[in-house]
Amino acid sequence: MKTITLFLLIINLSLTAQQRQFFTQPDLENKIGKHFPIENYKNQENSNFNVDDLKGKMSFINFWSTTCEPCITELPYLNKMKETLGNKANFIAITQDNKDKVEKFLAKREFNFLHITDSGQELKSYFPILRNPMTFIVDKNGNIQEITGIIDETKLDAIMGIFKE
């Protein structure tokens, strides 16, 4: 009986993993299929976003830092995706860095997303461990569909395919 149960569990995990494009860290698996709490974050007017702000079109949410070298390395790929998809999706970058630090960074480097800064408390309350860079692909209902680490040329086609579904 134990062997059958173990076998069925392995089959179930395998089938679930095959439905998604990317491997997700085990401590983040429970976020897949759940609402992304955009309403916990502040917009540029220092008001909380609305719970419905991510509804209606897919969203690409990137967690990053100005001092994170892998974050900087992925910027050309992120900008390429935004350029290709345009207004077909929301492109949001969230960091715990303060607004001044981000503005100085953006004066030297191109990163064409909507930036949410000063989010240290929100990030600490949401993530068991924050790994930068990390990206959430959120469906049209505001639910997390995929989670992945650094974006590079090997992931571009898979991501573009998700947005074109």
16 within some domain: no
- For the chain, how many structural domains are there in total? 1
153 within some domain: yes
124 within some domain: yes
d(CA 148, CA 20): 11
150 within some domain: yes
85 within some domain: yes
Mean pLDDT, residues 123-134: 91
Q: The whole model's pTM is what?
A: 0.84
157 within some domain: yes
Partner residues linked to 48 by β-bridges? 42
Domain assignment of residue 38, given as a range: 23-164
Residue-wise pLDDT tens digits, 86-118: 899 999 999 999 999 999 999 999 999 999 999
38 within some domain: yes
CATH of the domain at 97: 3.40.30.10
Mean pLDDT, residues 54-75: 96
Residue 44 has pLDDT above 60, yes or no: yes
Predicted confidence band at 16 (pLDDT cuts at 50, 70, 90)? Answer: very low
6 within some domain: no
